[in-house]
A and B are shown apart, each in its own frame.
Chain A
Amino acid sequence: MIEVRNLCKRFHDRKRGEIRAVDDVSFTCRPGQIYGLLGANGAGKTTTLRMLATILEPSAGTAVICGSDIVEKAEEVRTKVGFLSTATALYPRLTARELVQYFGRLNGLDDSLLNDRVNSIFQRLDMNGFSDRQCDKLSTGMKQKTSIARTLVHDPPVMIFDEPTLGLDILTTRTITGFIRECRDRGKTVIFSTHIMSEVEKLCDVVGIIQKGKLLAEGTVGELRDRYREQDLEEIFVKVVACNGTAAEEG
């Protein structure tokens, strides 16, 4: 369970002054559900997810992940979260197995449990053929599988995916989307950011539309279609962003 409460992130830029990357965002993601955070580039998706993964600290507000506060108990939160994005690269000089073991150890797993966990994940993801190959010698697909194994090794109840399919080919994208679905089916809480509408339609149980750091609309895909009287999600997205842009100007 993820409960986001009035989350804010402000950055200071010498030229532009204060930037509100995330501005008073609140939402809830439940176990067995995929929450899709939909927004254009620079909308605040990555900053929100980085705060949930405790990589960045909120300027105000907080979030509670499986009972742990992201501000007060950041390390505890990280043991409950698996974080995957296109920016989470692999250590090039470690083998796939060493890399997954490294993250398992950092998650406090003892050697026997770690070995069992690694063997079972490698079996499930069909990784045994390249488990002893260094990460810089792996293909994109193999790297993605290794990244998935890294996020799974400590069996976290919450999965955070930040644009995980960005720049990937169709087959690798399918591996990732399949994995996201599998996480939901196993009862994990999944939050997922993207700007690709088809992925949202295929995967998300609940969608939040974010623009300029603000959460503008939220609901299931069906609810959003009813509310904005549009079938096409892209049109809905444009309407939401345009409405709020006009409202902001009028305000």
Chain B
Amino acid sequence: MSLRNIGVVYRKELTEALRDRRTLISSIVIPLFLFPALAIGIGYAFAEVIGAASREPSRIMILGGEDSPAVVDGLKKVRNLRVVPTKTNYLDLISNKKIRAVVDIPLGFQAAVERGERPDVKIYIFSGDMKSAFGATRIERFFTEFRDMTVRGRLAAQNLPESLMKPFNVRQQNVVSPEKVAGETYGGLIPYLAILMCMTGAMYPAMDLTAGEKERGTIETILSSPVKRTDLVLGKFLLVLTASLATATLSVVSMGLSFSVLSHLASLQNGAEGLPALTMHPETVLAVFLMALPIAVLFSAVLFTISLFAKSFKEAQSYLTPMTFVVLVPAIAAVLPGIELTPKLALIPILNVSLLCKELVAGTYHWNYIVLIFLSTCIYAGVALFLAVKMFQRESVLFSS
């Protein structure tokens, strides 16, 4: 192995990569601009949709209630509720989203309440429809207030204190730092993105430097030079790794910036209570980067080896596209709430790094897992790289035609 020759091959591949529009687009332009634009765009659109739905008055109908005028009048006065004349086809109207909810007040409701009975009020909704849920919540809130008022009236009539309604309070209190809250809430997205981008960044150069080289007919040219095949494959592999890391780093940085912009915008909109700010200390960034490094090596080596078997760029694309799903599943699994690191999960490639990075972002350092995952990923990466070197020495792979 000659470091000089590996360097010569790497520099040449880098020069070519930087002159290739497709590499530049996939490694720099997309992670730097497209993903943040998408994230901000989707976030903005999502916020707009929810905002508009929450501001829109809910059209509702009232069934019955003729003998409970106070309730009906009260409902009509609720802000953001618009009571429309009742029609018999109210179920169809809910289903067609013409109205958001129907409140069914039983016969003699008000009198029954005064007698101390427990009549049932039903709210018909379109389950799963956000606007229907908003309507139902507004109706429920009205009835809760009505119930509290009734109880308060009864207590006052008997000269009993209001505290009898609520003899004690229960409330939740967060005892974890905002950094950890942010890490738990959407910290999983950062490693997910980093892992996915490590893969995306490696994909195009891996195909270009193997199948692309075969297709262009330069493989025979380079094999006739005195460079050892091991040096050649390592030089090429380093370029794939560079692209993988560059794409991942650029994506994480640009997404981090987009997140903080979004979070700032959200806090401006909702007052002080915005999204919990995701702050990452330099040591966290370094730790995530260090954990992503063997993953990037693993992806680069695996993608490189697979595309080596293809005779053309198109063939390589058809081999590598399914790989995206292989990576997506464990990466997404780690983002799901409730999945925590266990010694067994710590040995599953991709999922382990994804879970660990989620903890790192949240500021938790389990050193035993860090060491175990780093070493196991290094071993997987080493095996993949060894395989890449071996495959590059096989004539049947290089000259598969």
Contacts and interface: CB of A to CB of B under 8 A. Distances in A.
Interface of A: 50, 53-57, 75-76, 78-79, 81, 83, 85, 87-94, 98, 102-103, 105-108, 134, 150
B21 to A, nearest CB: 10
Interface size class of B (residues with CB under 8 A): 20 to 34
Contact of B218 (A78, A89, A108): A89
Contacts of A107: 225-226
Interface string B213-230: 000111011011111100
Nearest to B395: A56
20 contacts: A54-B224, A55-B220, A56-B399, A78-B224, A83-B224, A89-B218, A89-B220, A90-B221, A91-B16, A92-B216, A93-B15, A94-B12, A94-B15, A94-B16, A102-B8, A105-B8, A106-B8, A106-B225, A108-B226, A150-B221
Nearest to A53: B224
B20 A93 contact: yes
Contacts of A83: 220, 224
Nearest to B231: A106
Interface of B: 5, 8-9, 12, 15-16, 19-20, 216-218, 220-221, 223-228, 395, 399
B19 to A, nearest CB: 4
Contacts of B216: 89, 91-92
A251 to B, nearest CB: 31
Contacts, number: 64
A150 B218 CA distance: 13
Contacts of A93: 15-16, 19-20
A57 B395 CA distance: 8
B227 A106 contact: yes
A53 B226 CA distance: 10
A106 B5 contact: yes
A93 B13 CA distance: 10
A67 to B, nearest CB: 16
B220 A88 contact: yes
A179 to B, nearest CB: 17
Contacts of A57: 395
Contact of A87 (B8, B19, B220): B220
Of B16, B226, B227, most A-chain CB atoms within 10 Å: B226
Contacts of B9: 106
Contacts of A56: 395, 399
